[in-house]
Structure 1
C-alpha cells in the first residue's frame, strides 16, 4: 500500500468524482482509476461503487470504514516526513544534589537549553542537539540511579564504591566557620576552641570525617 494510493482514495472520498479528483491531484483520470484499483486489490475489498462510464462514485461499507484508517495513515506519513527532516538529538539525564543543581549548575543548564532553542530555529546550520533531563536526589540515590542505568551523569558530595560507577573529583571547596560579628570567637579559631555540644554534623565526605575525628574524637572521650 502506497501513500499516493491513500491520497487518491481520500481525494475521491472528498470529491465523489473521479474526474474532479484527477484534476485536484494533477494526474490523469486513468491514473486515478489505476491507483484505486491497486489499493482495492491490496486490501482485497471494494471501496467504491461505480458504474461503467460513470464519474460519480459512492463509498461501500468497507470504504466508509477505511476512511478513518486512511486519514490516520496520511497523518502518520506526514509526521514521519517531518521526523526524517529533523536532526537527531541526544538524550542526557543528569542527577545531582539540590544545592549543586540550584547554585552551581543552573547557569550551565540554562545555556544548554538556550543553545538548543537557537539550534532548532537554525536547523540547517546546527549540529546535533541535546534533550536535557535534570533531577535532584540524595547522594546515595544518585549512585543507585547510575548503577541501574537510569541516568547518564551524577554529581554528589561524596565518593561511594559501586561496581558499575566511576567517581572522579570535579572540584573542592574550603570549609569555613560563619558567625555573627558579635560572636565571642576570634578571627582565627582553633578546632579545640569549638564546643562539640553545639555541633551539627551533616557531611558524608570521608575525608571530612577523618579530619573531624582527628580533632574531636579524643576530646569527646
Structure 2
C-alpha cells in the first residue's frame, strides 16, 4: 500500500501542486479569510461548548445536534444515521451543482478517562473547523456560480473501534462521487517533514489493549 501511495505521489508532483495552490490567489484568500471569520466570530464558541460537554464514541448526540443545526442554518440538508450509525451524518449543500465534489470529514467524539469523558485530542474543535471551511466554500460557489459541490461527513467514534465508522460509511457508499475529501486535525506542531500524503493514518485497523498505571493519551504516553 505504501509503495503504491509513493508511486502515486511521484506521478502527481505534489510539491508542484502545492506551489501552485499556495501562489497568490485573491479568490482563494477570500475563502480562507471567510473561514477564519466564521471560526473566530461564531464557531470557537461551539468548539468550547463541545469541549465542556464531552461525549464518547457513538454517543455524541448533543455534539452532532450542535454541528448539524449550524449546517442547516447555512443551507445544508442533513441525513443522520448513515451506515446504521446513529451519530453519523451526511450534510449536503443545497446549492450543489455538479463536480468537482469536495468532501469534509468531521470527528467529534471524546476520550474516555478514569474520571469520565474528556476532549484531549482536539475533536471538540475539529467539527467547527471543518464546518467553517465547508460553509466558506459553499458561499463562494453560490456567489461566483462556480460549478462544484460541498458535502460534510460526520464520522463518530474515531477513538473507539470497532466498528470503524469511516469503513462502515465507505461500505455503505456514503463517500461515492467525491473528488477529494479533507479532514482537519490539531497537533502539537504546525509543520510537517515534507509535502505529500503522509503515512500516519493509512490502512488503520482497530485493536483493544488494557493498560495499567496513570491514564494518558497515546500521543504523549
Bigger Rg, which one: 1
Q: TM-score, normalised by structure 2?
A: 0.27
Higher helix residue share: 1
Task: Answer 1 or 2: higher relative contact order, Cα 8 Å, separation at least 6.
Answer: 2
Larger fraction in strand: 2
